[in-house]
Amino acid sequence: MGIIRAAIEAIGGGLADQWLEVIEANDMSDTTVMTTGVKVRNDKRNRNIKGSDNIVSQGSIIHVYPNQFMILTDGGKVVDYTAEPGYYKVDNSSSPSLFSGQFGDALKETFSRIKYGGTTPYAQKVIFINLQEIKNIAFGTVNPINYLDHFYNAELFLRCHGYFSIKIVDPLKFYTEAIPKNKDRVEITDIHKLYLSEFLGALQTAISKMSVDGIQISYVGSKTMELAQYLSDVLDDSWTSKRGMQIESVGINSISYTEESQRLINMRNQGSMMSDPYVRAGYVQTQLADGIAKAGSNPAGAMTGFLGVGMGMQTAGAFMGGFPQANQYPVQQPPQQQQQQQPQAAGAAAWVCSCGTSNTGRFCMNCGKPKAEDNTWKCSCGAVNSGRFCPQCGNKKPETAAKTYKCNKCGWTPSDPSNPPKFCPECGDPFDEQDAN
């Protein structure tokens, strides 16, 4: 028993006059995966209205449309099929024709495992499988998925929601393994819950593979094609090999992070921005301007506020001096000016910091430590010493005059120049080694 091609020119008014059935697929939407065939009785000449629904008469015509796979069954077993659009005549005396179409010999191999060699039909059905892409299958992760992001160097957690689509690539296998028995119509919503847990498990595995491949977590939403390929690889054995369907595409509508993951991402992004010297300089200038503006409204008086600003700026200057040179605000200089400055730098007195860096300024450009004071003295005999007595002649180190101080900002001199206050009463500048004479 099987089907044979019917010539198009033979499908006309004469066929309807022969009391035979013309069978087509029942209404098939883009979410329908399987439906049974129905007899077309809208032609006034076709008077066969008493035929049994579970019998396909000898000589009946089956009309197969594009993107449909037709299966002829007898007692629930597959006896013939076609993947090619056209008209087919039921012939109980013929062998299965097996019009594999786009599926080739792979479909015949599947048929060889499930075929049924019946002769006289008792309960026949015509089954139609939808070969179009089945879209808009919703999914959403209930629990957060861990994602080890190498860019942020942290284990983050995300949730994602969206839609995926499937395509039936082996209709015979799909019919025997995924379709519930004794159903005349099956929508994707009737069966997708059975496989949604498998999909979500594969989704977690696929996202973990994206992490291993070094894809940044914020790019996951834009990698839908790659994600579909990852899922196909993960589900190939359980879905394609066993059930005849595969993931066609995955669309992610939204990705959200856990509160802790979002905090880590924000902290990393802020640190990345502040590592830019131009951004950092602008931030510092904005904070200083804001501080000066607030100083004018200080409850203790504007003078007190501006004294605090002066102290803050002095502290900030010392703090910035401790930054590594590579992390300071870059100042672009013309090449000629740089060349002119090189001999001056070379001629300046150099000193070596405890970290091993050679410097010419008062602070180390690498670690920010101040230049160590030179406590050596030269004796009258010509020996250079660092102790209190000369080891060559025994002379005592001469007493040095006491240091005197004068404000290097405004020029104010304390009444006792050798014993200055901590801060200049005129401008608020702290007294330090820069004010010593």
**Residue 366 pLDDT exceeds 70:** yes
Range of the domain at 144: 134-262
Q: Residue 408: in which H helix or E strand, if any?
A: none
Whether 395 is covered by a domain: the verdict is no
Whether 22 is covered by a domain: the verdict is yes
**Residue 269 pLDDT exceeds 50:** yes
Q: How far apart are the first and last CA of the chain?
A: 117
Instruction: Please report the pLDDT score of residue 68 as a whole number.
Output: 94
User: How does pLDDT run across 114-168, given as a tens digit for each residue?
Assistant: 665 433 445 678 999 999 999 889 988 888 888 888 888 888 888 888 898 999 9
User: How high does pLDDT run on average in the chain?
Assistant: 75
Q: How many domains would you assign to the chain? A: 2
Distance CA 69, CA 105 (A): 15
Residues 142 and 187 in one domain: yes
Residues 141 and 258 in one domain: yes
Of 6-20, 82-96, 269-283, 299-313, the range with the highest mean pLDDT is 82-96
Whether 146 is covered by a domain: the verdict is yes
Whether 24 is covered by a domain: the verdict is yes
Q: Which residue has the higher pLDDT, 233 or 162?
A: 162
Q: Is residue 43 within 8 Å of residue 139, measured between CB atoms?
A: no
- 436 half-sphere exposure, CB direction, 13 A CA radius: 7
β-pair type (154-168, 22-25):
unpaired
Distance CA 70, CA 74 (A): 13
Instruction: Please report the pLDDT score of residue 141 as a whole number.
Output: 86
User: Residue 328: helix, strand or coil by DSSP?
Assistant: coil
**Residue 380 CA, distance from chain mean position:** 75
Whether 374 is covered by a domain: the verdict is no
Query: 73-82, 176-185, 342-351: lowest mean pLDDT where?
Result: 342-351
Q: Which two tokens stand for residue 248?
A: 């066609």
- 392 half-sphere exposure, CB direction, 13 A CA radius: 10
Q: Which residue type does 333 have?
A: Q
Out of 130, 149, 164, a domain closes at 130
Out of 219, 237, 262, a domain closes at 262
Instruction: Please report the pLDDT score of residue 236 as a whole number.
Output: 74
Residues 101 and 141 in one domain: no
Residues 175 and 223 in one domain: yes
Residues 138 and 223 in one domain: yes
What is the CATH number for 206? Answer: 3.30.479.30
User: How does pLDDT run across 314-345, given as a tens digit for each residue?
Assistant: 555 554 554 455 445 554 555 555 444 444 44
Residues 159 and 117 in one domain: no
Beta-carbon count within 10 A of 8 CB: 9
Residues 111 and 153 in one domain: no
Residues 147 and 215 in one domain: yes
Instruction: Please report the pLDDT score of residue 429 as a whole number.
Output: 85
0.75 cut: is pTM over it?
no
Whether 373 is covered by a domain: the verdict is no
Nearest to 86 by CA among 156, 157, 3, 20: 3
Residues 54 and 167 in one domain: no
Of 164-168, 338-342, 390-394, 416-420, the range with the highest mean pLDDT is 164-168
Q: To which residue do tokens 């405890």 refer?
A: 354
Q: Which two tokens stand for residue 320?
A: 């910035």
Whether 125 is covered by a domain: the verdict is yes
Out of 262, 282, 309, a domain closes at 262
Residues 237 and 249 in one domain: yes
**Residue 431 pLDDT exceeds 60:** yes
Whether 256 is covered by a domain: the verdict is yes
Residues 142 and 252 in one domain: yes
Residues 96 and 57 in one domain: yes
Instruction: Please report the pLDDT score of residue 241 as a whole number.
Output: 84
